[in-house]
Structure 1
Amino acid sequence: MKKTLKEIADWLGIDSGKYSDEVVTGISIDTRTLKKGDLFIPFHGEAVNGHKFVQQAFEKGAAAALWLKDEPNPPKDKPILFVDDSEIALQQMARKYRNEHKAKFIGVTGSNGKTSSKDILASMLEPFYKVQKTIGNFNNQLGLPITILSLDEDTEVAVLEMGMSGFGEIEFLSNLAKPHYAIITNIGEAHMQDLGSREGIAKAKFEIIKGLQSDGTLFFDGDEPLLQSLVAKTTNLNSRACGFSKDNDLFATTIETTDKGSQFTVSGEINGEFFIPVLGKHQVKNALNAMLLGRALGLTTEQIRTGLAQVKLTDMRMQLVSTENGPLFINDAYNAAPTSMKAAIQFVQATTIRDDKWLVLGDMLELGENEEQFHKQLSEVIDAKEISKVCLFGPRMKWLYEQLLNSFTKDDLVYTENDYDVIVQTINNYASNNSLILLKGSRGMKLETILKSFQ
């Protein structure tokens, strides 16, 4: 972005003052990451008043700053834009910049796999387009506007992740981004405590079509009945379904896993053999959405194959981590919900990468009143014939521990409420270079702490 202060002031419908020719080349809400030329946006939170850092922002090279009208003592002789509300101003600037931008905008939401889908799609497209994507978890009402305002003016494809915790949030983000294409990865159980049921979650995710361009297309998990029903009830919606059922527009079969990734066959709108350097059947489904979208953007089958072969995911998503003369870890510790937890467990049980298979599982959070049931139900997919040892971490995992007592011996089933060292010691004592260890839990459990002991 390269805008004069007058242009930004015009976006906001305010006076730019005497510094109207000052050029802004980015947005910052944190002086620790501020770059020269940024417009600094202070927020007045309960714990921190960002206005205290405005002077520091200028010292670090900020081109200008916003300032709340009711905040006293604004800096003198500095490029300041006075606004009523920093968040609304940020969103308004993003809305204006989005309307000017010529890129193809893609919105990605879902209970699980948003970040992986974003990464797969962006990586696949990067050899053929200038692509930018949501960085980290900048996927909410503050993060999405920052992502949009961070787009280069010559970006050709913008892949925007959209997160939520309640109704109305995806609708707001979709109307802000106005995507040409939208993806719903799946419907799981995350945010059950806020949305009440999987049906509620599906409706909240489906809000992504609210801002979809009139000639846009929705790509979705065609194996999910809740999404099938919502799509069927929506008139004049262009949609494409992918999954493992042959009823989908694109479906995958004969998925084979190596220590390098996943080989699979697809049929339907695209046909042939493909490879992604990513583990997990669920990641193959994420790749299918990317393939259909790539075709919609004009990629050939061979270009799609080339793009998928060099995919790279954000860390802690089915990430293989080797240790010297020791076990091989699958670090999937960024987040967890019942659907993704079961998928990861089933992958470990089916893979032939290593023979000695371990599960290190942490609590699943934000599941509401049914959290005990969801933890207990994991026992139904854990096969004692395939898994050598299970290590459980967190107060909620005690429910699963009690379910597994009859399936595993005392040495093969370990539970601790809050002590990583108990699991680290178990791995040190029993794991070998023939061991494959899955680390999977909600973000708050920080299971990657265990991995640090082996790196």
Structure 2
Amino acid sequence: MIKRTLKQIENMITVQNDLSTFSSLEIEGVCIDSRRIEKGNLFIPFKGERMDGHEFVHQAIEDGASAALWEKSAGEPPANLPIIVVDNSLQALQDLARSYRQQLNAKVVGITGSNGKTTTKDIAASLLSLQYKVQKTEGNYNSHIGLPLTILGMEENTEVMVLEMGMSGKGEIAELTHIASPEVVVITNIGESHLQDLGSREGIAQAKLEIIEGLTESGLLVYFGEEPLLVERIRSLSIRAETFGKEKGNTIFPTSLEANQKGTFFSTNITKNQSFFLPILGEHNVLNTMAAMLVAKELDVHLEQAQQALDNVRLTGMRLETVKGAKGETIINDAYNASPTSTRAAIDLLASLKGYHQKVLVLGDMLELGTEEEAFHTEIGNYIPLEEIDYVMTYGPLAEKLAEAANMRGHGKVFSFQNKEELVQRMKETIQFGDVVLFKASRGMKLEEVVEKLM
């Protein structure tokens, strides 16, 4: 993590006060939560709707922080304390991260996309770890605050940093990529997430392409080569690019695919038909793996050893987590996020699974889909292969539209709930030993609460 004296920090960000009294004082790491201060931290206060972090500056220093930022607009800072006055705490955090990244020798990989970016990040980090000391975005630290914190947590001897870049509106990816200055960037796909803010898939594609704005000279763009919205735009750019996908026209594509209950065997055109086993459910995750392989290849990792990395992939929570329920059923928890694209992939996964007694699909609302949200849910209800899935249970007002569409097809085993306790009760009455249950919903629906009650 960052270790710098206040004198050095003064050369990294714009400071509004005299730090000469404390110039030799060293900070180690940064913290934005006064309750989690560790010795030596630089405390960064933010003004929130309910609380103002400046109220906790004095306590943070008492608890071990070496110094703290202070926004000029917050009034007179505490006297005789190591306070760094800045115009804006967020801007100072981002400037500090940008400067720290430029001072290090690490290469940076930036990953964005509507779906699959977190899994691609996790797989890429594992592949790159075959040859390098790697750090990656942890949890959901992929925002205008989370990404700078991730960079500032990077050890000085890190060789490759794999950074996830999230967004909700235009300009946000551009901001992140200019902080990170990546050598390689990945766009996993263009889905429907954030239609509420960006209006169309075209708008989403344009926002995701902002990631190339911070790409270093001669850097590489890796993207899904079967997305017309990307292909059309990238063809007109003077940029080095490689593609992944199912079709032979891509830089990397699968030459074989065979799924089972634990993952997928696959081979690719660039690995001389060597067979790999991906211990993550869903053929769509083979696409994420191939994107990560192109990243690793660009950084001179020998893909012949890729199986070792795939065996050791550590996925971020609630992404195809597989656990056993109280009755011995298999529970697949993919309820971290949902869009029509990722929900269709989850449905395809459940339909393809073999060897289970019953297949139960539990779907919650897909959020942030804009004015067409009901239509998207209806489409999913019509998409479900009811002949392959025994029960469909939904939770939430939008998912009710999904259930209505599915019920119109005469399946007879589609149920909709607005109360989690009622959903749990019906599931306990329905589920048997040897069943498989898949959960998919937007994070705001908190379907993990249902999962926990089945354990």
Normalised to the residue count of structure 2, the TM-score between the two structures is 0.96
2: CA distance, partners of 1:433 / 1:125: 40
Report the CA distance between 1:176 and its aligned residue.
Answer: 1.3
Q: Which of 221, 243, 246 is matched with 1:244 structurally?
A: 246
Report the CA distance between 1:291 and its aligned residue.
Answer: 0.7
2: CA distance, partners of 1:70 / 1:203: 35
1: CA distance, partners of 2:178 / 2:355: 44
Normalised to the residue count of structure 1, the TM-score between the two structures is 0.96
For the residue of structure 1 that corresponds to 2:118, the secondary structure is helix
2:288 maps to what in 1? 286
Amino acid in the other structure paired with 2:7: K
Contact (CA 8 Å) 1:42, 1:51: kept in 2 or not? yes
State how 1:340-359 maps to structure 2 within 5 Å: 340-359=342-361
2:117 maps to what in 1? 114
Contact (CA 8 Å) 1:337, 1:365: kept in 2 or not? yes
Q: Which of 386, 389, 392 is matched with 1:387 structurally?
A: 389
For the residue of structure 1 that corresponds to 2:75, the secondary structure is coil
1:181 maps to what in 2? 184
Gaps of 5+ in 1: none
Contact (CA 8 Å) 1:346, 1:381: kept in 2 or not? no
2: CA distance, partners of 1:153 / 1:98: 10
1:18 maps to what in 2? 21
2: CA distance, partners of 1:270 / 1:221: 21
Contact (CA 8 Å) 2:112, 2:186: kept in 1 or not? yes
| Residue 155 (structure 2) pairs with residue 149 (structure 1) | no
2: CA distance, partners of 1:404 / 1:380: 6
1: CA distance, partners of 2:63 / 2:363: 43
Residues 366 and 270 (structure 1), Cα distance of their counterparts in 2 relative to 1, 3 Å cut: farther
2:452 maps to what in 1? 452
1:315 maps to what in 2? 317
1: CA distance, partners of 2:32 / 2:272: 43
Report the CA distance between 1:408 and its aligned residue.
Answer: 4.8
2: CA distance, partners of 1:409 / 1:222: 37
Amino acid in the other structure paired with 2:9: I
| Residue 214 (structure 2) pairs with residue 233 (structure 1) | no
Contact (CA 8 Å) 1:277, 1:312: kept in 2 or not? no
Contact (CA 8 Å) 2:195, 2:204: kept in 1 or not? yes
Report the CA distance between 1:52 and its aligned residue.
Answer: 1.0
Report the CA distance between 1:63 and its aligned residue.
Answer: 1.0
Report the CA distance between 1:143 and its aligned residue.
Answer: 1.4
Q: Runs of 4 or more off by more than 3 Å in structure 1?
A: 268-271, 406-410
For the residue of structure 1 that corresponds to 2:138, the secondary structure is coil
2: CA distance, partners of 1:5 / 1:294: 37
Report the CA distance between 1:324 and its aligned residue.
Answer: 4.2
Contact (CA 8 Å) 1:258, 1:353: kept in 2 or not? no
Contact (CA 8 Å) 2:110, 2:177: kept in 1 or not? yes
1: CA distance, partners of 2:282 / 2:14: 50
Contact (CA 8 Å) 2:381, 2:404: kept in 1 or not? no
State how 1:34-433 maps to structure 2 within 5 Å: 34-235=37-238, 237-268=239-270, 271-410=273-412, 412-417=413-418, 419-433=419-433
Amino acid in the other structure paired with 2:414: L
For the residue of structure 2 that corresponds to 1:37, the secondary structure is coil
Report the CA distance between 1:353 and its aligned residue.
Answer: 4.9
Amino acid in the other structure paired with 1:130: K
2: CA distance, partners of 1:62 / 1:372: 49
Gaps of 5+ in 2: none
Residues 293 and 389 (structure 1), Cα distance of their counterparts in 2 relative to 1, 3 Å cut: same
Q: Percent identity?
A: 46
2: CA distance, partners of 1:406 / 1:10: 66
2: CA distance, partners of 1:222 / 1:140: 26
Query: For each residue in 1:99-144, what CA deviation from the matched residue of structure 2 results, as whole angstroms up to 9, or x when unmatched?
Result: 1111010110000111111111112222421111112222121111
Amino acid in the other structure paired with 1:141: H
2: CA distance, partners of 1:292 / 1:450: 38
Report the CA distance between 1:436 and its aligned residue.
Answer: 0.6
Report the CA distance between 1:200 and its aligned residue.
Answer: 1.0
2:4 maps to what in 1? 3
How large is the Cα RMSD of the aligned pairs? Answer: 1.5
Contact (CA 8 Å) 2:271, 2:304: kept in 1 or not? no
Report the CA distance between 1:11 and its aligned residue.
Answer: 1.2
Aligned residues: 452
